[in-house]
Structure 1
Amino acid sequence: MAAFRGEFRLRTSAVLYKNRRERLTHPCPCGYLSDPVHPCSCTPLAIQRYRSRISGPLLDRIDIHIEVPAVKYRDLADRGEGESSASVARRVERSREIQSERYRSTKIHCNAQMTPRFIKKHCELDEAGNRMLELVTDRLGFSARTYNRILKVARTIADLDASDHIRQEHIAEAIQYRSLDRKTS
């Protein structure tokens, strides 16, 4: 993979990434849309204009887009019973091993690099997952590129779950990571 260096400016700060393709943006011009503490000062038209600056074809090329809400102090300080970082790291490592084995005799190293031919071969869905993806694709008008991105992400989720087949819950989770495709205003 060729080296990629990107610089993204967020208001007055810039974030540099090397060998990664990441995009960051606010949900609206003021940055407070859906914030429970700070009211958004943007009009619906301003939000629509702001979001229209990101083209559909560009959004299609982003595997995962999610909204990250502000976190309250008590949630940060809580030492609850969530999954430990070590446990997550082990699942990620197992997933990477699964992908290395799957693609060992190819030039592909991970699910994100799959071509449509590999997607057809390695993204086998259960019946319920297939119905769900068909329904959502038709209802939201996903492009072929978005459809393939959902399958790649679902394949990765299934790998993290140590599942040979992509199940409905893997498809549902992958669709949840396409939040900007679902925005209408």
Structure 2
Amino acid sequence: MLRLFPMALCVVALVIMLKDSQTNDYGSLSYSDLGIFRYLVHANGICAAYSLLSAIVAALPRPTTLPRAWTIFLLDQILTYIILAAGAASTEVIYLAYKGDTDVTWSETCGSFGVFCKKATASVSITFIVSLCYVGISLLSSYRLFSKYDAPIGQNNNKGGIEIANY
């Protein structure tokens, strides 16, 4: 069930961003006009698909083998960083849209396209909640993986009283 929750959030963030466009006297603005928002949409779509697939795999009544645990662990790590990068980069663009950057003559956009900015902020906020879910999932998958290994057995034959593990 923990893997289905981020899937639902990814779909919500994806739909909000896909419907994010605004037209007014100054022109029109859509998520597809900004490359980072297209990346955010793709990242949310990939994470939603992975969450569904991994939930199905986790629900199968098979014993967890070491290669399967490594695969799930690595994929969880990769998807965590993908969604975190998408959220962080999108946050920067939203910050610039609200504040602007006078040094490079980039004026604020949210004064003219407030509805667009509110929807984009909502989508990015949901994406950060997804990132937190993936961090939790990554911690659980790392625990499941590394609990399959035994702790190293140390020998206490040195004279200094310091244990040195033998591998």
Bigger relative CO (Cα 8 Å, ≥ 6 apart): 2
So what's the TM-score if we normalise by structure 2?
0.22
So what's the TM-score if we normalise by structure 1?
0.20
The structure that has the greater radius of gyration is: 2
